[in-house]
Structure 1
Amino acid sequence: MLETLDSIPWQQLQHAYGDASEVPGWIKDLSSPNKEIRQQAYNHLGSSVYHQGTVYSSTASIVPFFCELLDDEQVVQKIWLLQLLVSIAHGSSYLDVHYRRPEERNTPEFRARLAEEIKWVRAAKEAVSAGYPTYLNLLHTDQPKLRAMAAWTLSCCRSHADEVIPTLKDRLKHEDKQSVRASIMMTLGRLMPAIKETHDYFMHLLKKQKKPMLVITAALAYALLAEEDTPRQVVHTLLESYEQPLEAKAKFAALPFTDVNIDATISRAFCAIGFSIAPLVIPTLIKALPHCDALSSVVLVDNLLYLALEGRTLRKETTIDNLSDMQKEVLIALVKNKHIWESGNMCLTVGHYFPPQNGLEFSMWKREDIARFLKGKSISSNEKDLEQTDQHPSNFHI
């Protein structure tokens, strides 16, 4: 195991903090019998070769060695390895994420550097996809959580879908653990082509499910696959999911493919289906706001505004009188639910749908800014008038 690790010119490759000469030592430490040493290696790798959503020139090179570790029965904490592989497969270029202004991007030097980083992104994605035989083998382990994570990792193997899909379909027939079945369904939804045969497959799959978690997952996978062609029956199934008891929602939140609560997760499917269902689903999304924590509320609010405003940013001259009743209700709900503003990202999330104020280059809208807008104040107004709203949020009116 790891026999070729030192043959990679790590010192010529980069991670987030410089050259990657330390990377082979960290990879070796992942198989250490000492838990503290392993943990340090996890920490180093999870913040360097992959760092806050971005990948680097060394990232693709670590993937085959991760697969070697996953193939070894003695290596522990394989779920962590798979989680990092999934993150790597969804990684982006540092420049593409952090440099957004046109004056920064429209230079030959920037475009050349960006093109090089995009090559790293593609190489990392393909390296993860090429590890599909390892993930398929892990579907036979006796650990359900590891099987579920392996099934979800296979969703990153789109370039090997023809090899993966038949095995997953067969495994779904024999798998008895709900969490693993749910992960297989979601992965099939990611990998299968959006053709009639696939629609028929998922409709049949949905009808066969009896457990709430599996009904929700089948409907969610179908909607994310079919998008605007999603049958209304599936939309209604997803809406009914909001009425599930807390116990069922907690089980769903523990699945490998969920990073936010069930309400926010399903809102992503509604966005994929499109604006035509906005009047049908927005009242349910508004009712879900009080039950969201800080992270889930950011996702739910983004999708709620996307549906209500049809993905558009309001113009500077827009006033409350230009909005529909549904759009007003969404903004009123944002003001009433004070707890959703606990995340600092909420101001940026909401600001995405409003023009910048006070000469800023980017848009940040606070709760009080929305309240002023609803009261008919101009976008550039600096008034601060939240006292009545804070004291009587349930009586807030336009």
Structure 2
Amino acid sequence: MLEGLDQIDWAALRHAYGPAADVPGDLRALALGGERQAAKALERLYSNIYHQGTRYTATVAAVPFIAEMALARRDRAARCLTLLAAIAQPSVRQMLDMGLASQGYYQEMAGQARARRDCERAEGETYGIGPDVDADVHAAVARALPALLPLFRQSDPAVTAALIELTGQVPQAAGATLPHLRAALGATPDTASDEGVTLAAIRALGQLGQTIERPEVTPDLTALLTPDHSALIRARAAVALCDIGQGQFEPLTEALTAAATIYDQDAARPPGHGWTIPQVARALRPFCAAHGPEIAHRLIKVLPIAAERGVTSTAIVDTLITALLDGAPTQNAFTGRRRSKLGDLDRKALGAIAEHGPWRIADRVYGNFTGQMRGYGLPDTAEGLAHFARKPGFFKRLAGA
């Protein structure tokens, strides 16, 4: 294991903090050290070669060794696979933004790098970053993936889920990986695999379905919308269908109705992030023009659930405002609007936001949320919004207040 590690001139490569001479030591600690030593090494690798989502020349060189460890150290395979998936993910987002397939993305990024060098000395040459590095990192992960597929035969759900997450970041390999993802969904509810594995497969299918390679995954996801599956699986499948442009209104509104159950199921799973409710709210936005009042009523009921469970509800509030406006743009929508012109549903919704919105985090004002409210043309304090949402008195109504 780690054969060839010392043949690389790591000092000539770069990571987030300069020359990458320390990367071989971290790779050795991850492969051969005790559990505490390996955990610290993994933390340093995230910080050095994947610093806040940035990849470096040292990242490209490290990928084959991380993949090798996933095969050789089964007790650390899940963590190595998760690191590889994280390293590859920004490139997939770039592909989606550019509307390019994998090979087209590689060519485009190489062309961008050449153009920079033709104009002036590229900053990437100094810091070990650049479009060509981003493409090289993803290509390195794609080359490593085929050798990792035998890990699907492992019985450890954590390893299987991490490997599935990785397959979602390599769209050009979908032909080889889709059978494994479909197997992970389970042939029937009685024989379905571990729910964490199923959720990972749903995320991977949704990701692959968005790419230009665009494998046909809609039937796999729609099969998960039946009542035989848990509320969390149905919600995740419905959100994934929206991501690939095949959204269905009813499963999403059912997910809002079961919001408390969904959150409890999701939060109980490692790492317990509880993101499902905002994801469902976001997925409903395209339906606001046709179903605004129904969506608004359901989101009003969801807001206190989100607040009670500590879910950041900015996405819920944004969808609620969009629903009130029947899908119209929200920017400055309430600027200059008089209280007397608010309808009953407007007042109910704004009152719920005033009471349950994320106005504070711990003991500090949540600036992102107050800025969001100003963007709508609404008061940026709970007290101000509650006052705005109240029905004006009789004489003020006569005056058109």
Tell me whether the two structures share a fold, i.e. TM-score over 0.5.
yes
Assess if the C-alpha contact under 8 Å between 2:330 and 2:376 holds in 1. Answer: no
Match of 2:84 in 1: 85
Assess if the C-alpha contact under 8 Å between 1:178 and 1:213 holds in 2. Answer: no
Secondary structure of the residue aligned to 2:32 is coil
The whole-number CA distance in structure 1 between the counterparts of 2:14 and 2:215 is: 45
Shift of the 90–210 alpha-carbon distance from structure 1 to 2, 3 Å rule, reads: closer
Q: Does 1:145 align with 2:158?
A: yes
Which residue of 242, 266, 283 maps to 2:259? 242
Assess if the C-alpha contact under 8 Å between 2:288 and 2:295 holds in 1. Answer: no
Assess if the C-alpha contact under 8 Å between 1:223 and 1:272 holds in 2. Answer: no
Q: CA deviation at 1:328?
A: 5.8
Matches within 5 A, 1:1-398: 1-72=1-72, 74-91=73-90, 113=123, 117-173=130-186, 175-192=192-209, 198-207=217-226, 209-226=228-245, 229-242=246-259, 244=261, 249-255=263-269, 259-271=273-285, 276-292=290-306, 293-294=309-310, 296-301=312-317, 303-304=319-320, 312=329, 314-315=331-332, 318-321=335-338, 325=343, 329-337=348-356, 341-342=360-361, 346-352=366-372, 354=374, 367-368=380-381, 371-372=383-384
TM-score (normalised: structure 2): 0.70
Shift of the 171–117 alpha-carbon distance from structure 1 to 2, 3 Å rule, reads: same
Residues 148-190 of structure 1: per-residue CA shift (max 9 Å, x gap):
2222222112222222113322443465322212322332222
Assess if the C-alpha contact under 8 Å between 2:171 and 2:208 holds in 1. Answer: yes
The whole-number CA distance in structure 2 between the counterparts of 1:333 and 1:208 is: 30
The whole-number CA distance in structure 2 between the counterparts of 1:50 and 1:286 is: 39
Shift of the 67–341 alpha-carbon distance from structure 1 to 2, 3 Å rule, reads: same
Assess if the C-alpha contact under 8 Å between 2:161 and 2:196 holds in 1. Answer: yes
The whole-number CA distance in structure 2 between the counterparts of 1:317 and 1:288 is: 23
Match of 1:386 in 2: none
Secondary structure of the residue aligned to 2:21 is coil
TM-score (normalised: structure 1): 0.71
The whole-number CA distance in structure 2 between the counterparts of 1:49 and 1:196 is: 31
Q: CA deviation at 1:303?
A: 5.0
The whole-number CA distance in structure 1 between the counterparts of 2:215 and 2:14 is: 45
Assess if the C-alpha contact under 8 Å between 2:239 and 2:283 holds in 1. Answer: yes
Residues 169-226 of structure 1: per-residue CA shift (max 9 Å, x gap):
2443465322212322332222236989643443334338433343333333223223
Shift of the 299–69 alpha-carbon distance from structure 1 to 2, 3 Å rule, reads: farther
Q: CA deviation at 1:29?
A: 0.6
Q: CA deviation at 1:68?
A: 0.6
The whole-number CA distance in structure 2 between the counterparts of 1:216 and 1:46 is: 31
Q: CA deviation at 1:47?
A: 1.6
Match of 2:95 in 1: none
The whole-number CA distance in structure 2 between the counterparts of 1:345 and 1:355 is: 17
Residues 279-303 of structure 1: per-residue CA shift (max 9 Å, x gap):
3323323322223355533454455
Rg larger in structure: 2
Q: Which amino acid aligns with 2:226?
A: K
How many percent identity over aligned positions?
A: 24
Shift of the 56–324 alpha-carbon distance from structure 1 to 2, 3 Å rule, reads: farther
Q: Which amino acid aligns with 2:145?
A: Y
The whole-number CA distance in structure 2 between the counterparts of 1:256 and 1:60 is: 29
Q: CA deviation at 1:257?
A: 9.2
Secondary structure of the residue aligned to 1:80 is helix
Higher mean displacement: 199-208 or 112-121: 112-121
**CA RMSD, aligned part only?**
4.1
The whole-number CA distance in structure 2 between the counterparts of 1:197 and 1:140 is: 24
Higher mean displacement: 131-140 or 318-327: 318-327
Shift of the 134–266 alpha-carbon distance from structure 1 to 2, 3 Å rule, reads: farther
Runs of 5+ consecutive residues of structure 1 not aligned to the other structure: 93-107, 358-364, 377-397
The whole-number CA distance in structure 2 between the counterparts of 1:256 and 1:91 is: 23
